[in-house]
Structure 1
């Protein structure tokens, strides 16, 4: 049953891709034929509609990311599709992000799936009415229906990691990777992470998969044992200032009713529920960056919250000196993230890339790198 489901997923992707693309005069072979008026308008601006309706560069249809080698990863898949979904991962690869970032968790029976939260309440509707991943098995999962990013039910069912990896294999171009964030690894041992790597590399090569974690270097060091070729990134937990900004943006009305220490404790509890903690050790000093490089070896990175990098732009030079790639993420909105990156660019302190919630064309245009 397991292999049949993966074969079916590959067949569906292949049929969809074949039927969705045609050769149009003057346009790449994957241009959509039934969108001629839009193709004409986009062509005049140097773009076209490619597979799955994503906007691509006309003169460089295979180019990844932005100019100057600035790397962009799609956050939980394509920004307009359900997060961590089969469709979202496939379309994000077709859109030519450098990497597609997803979130891996384990079900009760050991099955690896993609979901950001410990609960499915925000992302899907389950037939079994189970919402905690620790109470679900693969049957519960694959009989669930997804919600879009507005919380509305859509006509797509949940798939496990193996099935989604099969779709990624079909859609990936050379140089693209699937960045799997290891979520909540407190109860997961190194053997479990080895199984995760085996699942991810059923179809993808070892170098086509990368791993990231906000839970310290231990799970990443374990992954290095299982996958010597993978890029490994420690996600630097946000500073207290960044968490306070997130709490104000997402829970401002609730917090406004509290004062003093009660407000601080409430914000800390909200941050802990959302991110696992409200205090994180810093890895931004030269000594800690060198330790990170020594511990993980190979290709290694540090991913930091954008407001923390704005407060310490010298981190870019320190990371590069230590041989560590530096990328940013945000706790707030995407446009603010890009505007902050633009400000860093003007100061000569751009990181190597960012995890974003916008399309490659919009992202690169806003950064002046299109």
Structure 2
């Protein structure tokens, strides 16, 4: 089914920050599967971990324990600072799980989201996704439209009610245009949730696992959520999702499930990905390369450049016109790019991208 507006190339292989099409042409990948391939394409440690696990055990039901799942749960508790995890298969499934967990914990039914948010396309997550073109064909959704302006704590304070189970927010908005909040915003939202006995959910699906120069974006703002969602980079390219929750918040038996959630192969991939992030110091690299990339992008000699923003290697380049032609020019000149709104170029390469590759990308954009 033709649900994507695909670029006219067929990708065959990848290594590090590079991918190759079926005709052998090389591209610097500044999309990374939409912030998925944080450790690069086909990292040897990930490939070996998948091979080894596939030879031993690929799947069993969650009616039984497996060692990779238990080990990964411990690793995620360690890197998130949370208390419990639940495994699923994607970001939108993680949001659905977070919604259910918020409802069963608070005994409330409503959710409050912010403008320009993106939380997924299943019926619950879609209720919290701002863009009307995604929501309109599928109404009625799980709840009526309840969105307030991003980066406006007072708007949340005005809109929250006694029946608000949770407020959900991306610490940095991804699909909405790489929008970075002011330093005090999330702390104010945390305070408002506490005052109203509502939970705070951080959607870290796109911002997690080193993308912003920290394990998770929440660290930049010094705020702890009650529940956080994860996916994209968790498996280094292997499909996986998860939620983490603070102490005292947990599903009970039978309250949620996922047949494939946390299966041995997915957990092996995630464990390998976490190993690579640690061993190759990719969080520091994300911070350093992100600062360099942003600095070089800011030098682009065009009157159409409005702003370069973001954290780490989650970068948005705002123009005063549509940027689709830049994506096309990039592809024709060996760089894969993506527009996350009509006027914002999203740059989210693997965290091991090199300075030389960054310079090549900037040169291609300069030509455009």
- Normalised by the size of structure 2, how large is the TM-score? 0.30
Higher helix share: 1
**TM-score scaled by structure 1?**
0.30
